């Protein structure tokens, strides 16, 4: 449990100045924040997600300065992690980043629908990319024991409700980790509101962790 008074910038653990793949069709910079409410065994950023206190914090002012200097080359900023929606005072972080004047994309596991609802209040938050791990009954295994089937169905069900009113602002993804079959992918697809597609991503085994970029 994170200190509710913590400055969210104290959880900044990585900054990638240019990316062509984190926001398809956009040149983006990616900010990685430490901490996560799940423990997916297939996590690519396990160290910063699960042990943020053992990784060093990037300087907020310096990072915002780097973004400002590169602004003319960038189409947007991606907030990733870890799980950014669990950050204390998440809306403060959003407001700080909106001052950079760039569209934002938010990556989330969907377990904090209230934070996603808050993010949608800002028009500059263009895309919420939601990872669905698999069928509800597989969540205990896929989340490392941190999420049950009922919790997954409830939280992601709330996200689906949000997506019904603005589907253009959501991207639903499922990574085909080794435990998932074609039938499981079909099951995940069947959860989505009518007319909203599921992007299935190939699974790449994690590389050795890099704490900062
Ligand atoms: S939700 Fe994402 S960041 Fe968190 S443990 Fe799972 S894969 Fe890693």
pLDDT in tens, 7-29: 999 999 999 999 999 999 999 99
Q: Is 89 in the pocket of ligand 1 (CB under 6 A)?
A: no
Separation CA 18–CA 166 (nearest Å): 28
pLDDT (mean) for 115-123: 96
Q: Is 108 in the pocket of ligand 1 (CB under 6 A)?
A: no
- φ/ψ of 53, rounded to 5, equals -70, -15
Sign of CA dihedral 86, 131, 116, 97: positive
Higher pLDDT, 207 or 205: 205
Under the banding of pLDDT at 50, 70 and 90, the label for residue 172 is very high
Q: Is 82 in the pocket of ligand 1 (CB under 6 A)?
A: yes
Under the banding of pLDDT at 50, 70 and 90, the label for residue 1 is low
pLDDT at 16: 97
CA of 69 to the centre of ligand 1 (A): 30
Residue 57 in this model has a pLDDT that exceeds 70: yes
Q: Which residue has the tokens 């990638």?
A: 16
pLDDT (mean) for 44-58: 94
CA of 49 to the centre of ligand 1 (A): 7
pLDDT (mean) for 186-190: 98
Structure tokens that stand for 155 in this block: 């939280």
Q: Which of 201, 37, 59, 58 has its CA nearest to residue 129?
A: 201
Under the banding of pLDDT at 50, 70 and 90, the label for residue 208 is low
pLDDT (mean) for 121-150: 98
Residue 5 in this model has a pLDDT that exceeds 80: no
CA of 72 to the centre of ligand 1 (A): 31
DSSP the chain: ---TTS-GGGGEEEEEEEESTTTTTS-EEEEEE---S---TT-SSHHHHH-GGGSPPPPHHHHHHHHHHHGGG-SEEEEEES-GGGSTTHHHHHHHHHTTT--EEEEE-SS-HHHHHHHHTSTTEEEEEEE--S-GGGHHHHTTTS--HHHHHHHHHHHHHHHHH-GGGEEEEEEE-TT--HHHHHHHHHHSPTT--EEEEE-----S--S--
Going by alpha carbons, the residue nearest to atom 8 of ligand 1 is 43
pLDDT (mean) for 57-80: 96
CA of 77 to the centre of ligand 1 (A): 19
CA of 55 to the centre of ligand 1 (A): 16
Residue 206 in this model has a pLDDT that exceeds 90: no
Please state which of the four CATH numbers 3.20.20.110, 3.30.360.10, 3.20.20.70, 3.40.50.1820 is assigned to the domain occupying 8-202. 3.20.20.70
Mutation probe of ligand 1 site: the residue of 36, 41, 50 with most atoms within 8 A of C-beta: 36
Residue 151 in this model has a pLDDT that exceeds 60: yes
Residue 209 in this model has a pLDDT that exceeds 90: no
Provide the CA 165 distance to its chain's centre, in angstroms.
20
Residue 4 in this model has a pLDDT that exceeds 80: no
Q: Mind listing the pLDDT tens digit for each residue in 99-114? A: 999 999 999 999 999 9
What is the rounded average pLDDT for all residues in the chain?
A: 94
The percentage of the chain sitting over the pLDDT mark of 90, rounded to a whole number, equals 90
Q: Is 83 in the pocket of ligand 1 (CB under 6 A)?
A: yes
Going by alpha carbons, the residue nearest to atom 6 of ligand 1 is 40
Q: Which residues contact 77 (CB under 8 A, 6 or more apart)?
A: 28, 29, 30, 31, 67, 97, 100, 102, 103, 104, 105
CA of 168 to the centre of ligand 1 (A): 24
Separation CA 115–CA 2 (nearest Å): 15
Separation CA 200–CA 197 (nearest Å): 10
Separation CA 86–CA 205 (nearest Å): 25
- φ/ψ of 98, rounded to 5, equals -65, -25
């Amino acid at each position: 449990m994170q200190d509710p008074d913590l400055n969210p910038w104290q959880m900044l653990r990585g900054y990638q100045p240019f990316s062509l793949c984190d926001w398809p069709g956009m040149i983006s910079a990616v900010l990685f924040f430490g901490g996560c409410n799940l423990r997916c065994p297939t996590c690519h950023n396990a160290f910063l997600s699960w042990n943020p206190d053992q990784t060093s914090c990037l300087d907020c002012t310096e990072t915002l300065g780097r973004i400002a200097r590169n602004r003319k080359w960038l189409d947007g900023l991606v907030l990733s992690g870890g799980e950014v929606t669990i950050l204390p005072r998440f809306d403060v972080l959003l407001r700080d980043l909106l001052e950079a004047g760039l569209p934002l994309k938010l990556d989330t596991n969907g377990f904090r629908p209230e934070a996603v609802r808050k993010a949608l209040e800002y028009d500059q938050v263009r895309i919420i990319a939601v990872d669905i791990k698999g069928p509800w009954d597989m969540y205990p295994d896929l989340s490392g024991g941190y999420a049950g089937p009922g919790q997954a169905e409830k939280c992601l069900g709330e996200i689906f409700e949000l997506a019904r009113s603005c589907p253009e602002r959501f991207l639903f993804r499922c990574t085909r980790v080794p435990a998932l079959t074609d039938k499981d992918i079909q099951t995940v697809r069947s959860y989505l509101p009518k007319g909203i597609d599921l992007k299935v991503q190939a699974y790449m085994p994690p590389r050795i962790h890099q704490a900062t970029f």
